[in-house]
Chain A
Amino acid sequence: MNLILAANPFTPGQTGTPEAVLFWILAPLAVLAAVSMIFVKKAVHSALLLAWVMITLAIFYIAEDAPFLGIVQIVVYTGAVMMLFLFILMLVGVDSSDSLVETIKGQRVMAMIGALGFAVLLIGAIGRSYTGFAGLTAANTDGNVEGLAQLLFTRYVWAFEVVSALLITAALGAMVLGHRERSSERPTQRELSILRFRPGSKLPGAPLPNPGVYALHNAVDVPALLPDGTPDPSSVSRVLKARGDVLDTKAFEMHTIEEGEDESK
């Protein structure tokens, strides 16, 4: 960086001491994070470790005299892409207890072949375009941002615009695919209120009764008793009923006192 440049005049191709210190502290941390990413139990921890790797990369970019790239790495990758990952992981709640049994036959083999093929394609394409490095001092003659802008908007403008069109299409496609239309009109408040009071309607006209309150237990999992002594199933939440978490009222019911029986016993 400029601070380091002024303090330690360097020769191109040689690593100055501050840069070496920075590298040897951060790089092992990044490698450790990247490896642990595969082995931690929780998905969110994995995502956080990946975010740390991205931040380390950004710090290296800045140290290597490409500050714009480093900052953009943080803003776009860590701040937007990883944030999106985290949102999904948190809302959907991916667990390592998910089943690893595959449902599609031969999936792993095909994936390996596909990945290898893609790698060969990438390396070949990039290798073909390599015409020798010009060096950062030449690239940053007008400043880092200006140099990058000149390349992006003159030589590579077509690729740049195609990629951005692709991104926009992907976003729109996700929105279209995830869109749901209602099959019928949404009932208004008035209509719902009328339906509630029709005989035989499934919607309750009045609030449901509360769970039973007993001297020894007043949690939500014991039903209330109707006047004839039977428990009322509608007084307990249907979620608890589905989970089978409803307790029996027998333990809490008051038994009838026989005539002559002494209550104090």
Chain B
Amino acid sequence: MSNELIPSKDGALERAAQESIPVANTGPASLGKQSQGFGVTFATMFKKVNTEQYPEEKVPTAPRFHGRHQLNRYPDGLERCIGCELCAWACPADAIYVEGASNTEDGRFSPGERYGRVYQINYLRCIFCGLCIEACPTRALTMTNEYELADDGREKLIYEKQDLLAPLMPGMVKPPHAMFPGTDDGDYYRGQVTGAHPSQGEQV
């Protein structure tokens, strides 16, 4: 019975079908070649080591390093996060918990109708994959380069919204406050609001 998968070429395979042939071994290399390995290890002893002496020397991370998350703001201080929970749905490790709430005229935290009232990231579950950043429609969620997150308690590693919010820069007004007069959330989204208006409140 010949195997149809391998074409037969003038009976050569039938001839070889009588026996299974061991593969020829080229054998071990010569003693001289084998001793070259010793030279490699000996020379490597005098090369510069790859070790980074953390925490005495902290090597800077790459520009797009996946570090701690940050909830960004618009230039006038309003939060970008609209509480859409897309990041929570995108997270493969189920590390994000979001509760959205409606903006009211007295309490407006973000342009538009909704904002993230509760925003938690559990850094014991987060795998720093960045899928949440890819999912965020308003570019509210980004990752900083901060990696020194080690702590000694489980509760301490669930970061709340106040731990994740970006700090207020000079020129921003602390929410809640109204939107820039004469704009709507579309203008904010398109980046047309570049600063705070005095009517919005005291600037930082």
Residues in A lying within 8 Å of B, measured CB to CB: 188, 190-191
| Closest B residue by C-beta to A194 | B3
**Could you tell me the dominant secondary structure of chain B's interface residues?**
loop
| Closest A residue by C-beta to B1 | A194
Give the shortest distance, in Å, between B132 (CB) and chain A (any CB): 33
Within 8 Å of chain A (Cβ to Cβ): is B192?
A: no
Counting from the closest, the 3 A-B pairs by CB-CB distance are A188-B20, A190-B20, A191-B20
| Closest B residue by C-beta to A191 | B20
| Closest A residue by C-beta to B19 | A188
List chain B residues, Cβ under 8 A from A191: 20
Residues in B lying within 8 Å of A, measured CB to CB: 20
A190 to B20, CA, bound (A): 9
List chain A residues, Cβ under 8 A from B20: 188, 190-191
Give the shortest distance, in Å, between A171 (CB) and chain B (any CB): 31
Ordered by A's residue number, 3 sampled pairs between the chains whose C-beta atoms are within 8 Å are: A188-B20, A190-B20, A191-B20
List chain B residues, Cβ under 8 A from A188: 20
A191 to B20, CA, bound (A): 10
List chain B residues, Cβ under 8 A from A190: 20
A188 to B20, CA, bound (A): 8
Give the shortest distance, in Å, between A32 (CB) and chain B (any CB): 54
A100 to B20, CA, bound (A): 52
Give the shortest distance, in Å, between A128 (CB) and chain B (any CB): 59
Give the shortest distance, in Å, between A185 (CB) and chain B (any CB): 10
Give the shortest distance, in Å, between B201 (CB) and chain A (any CB): 54
A15 to B105, CA, bound (A): 113
Give the shortest distance, in Å, between B90 (CB) and chain A (any CB): 31
| Closest A residue by C-beta to B22 | A188
Give the shortest distance, in Å, between A219 (CB) and chain B (any CB): 30
A216 to B20, CA, bound (A): 51
A191 to B17, CA, bound (A): 12
A187 to B20, CA, bound (A): 10
A139 to B11, CA, bound (A): 81
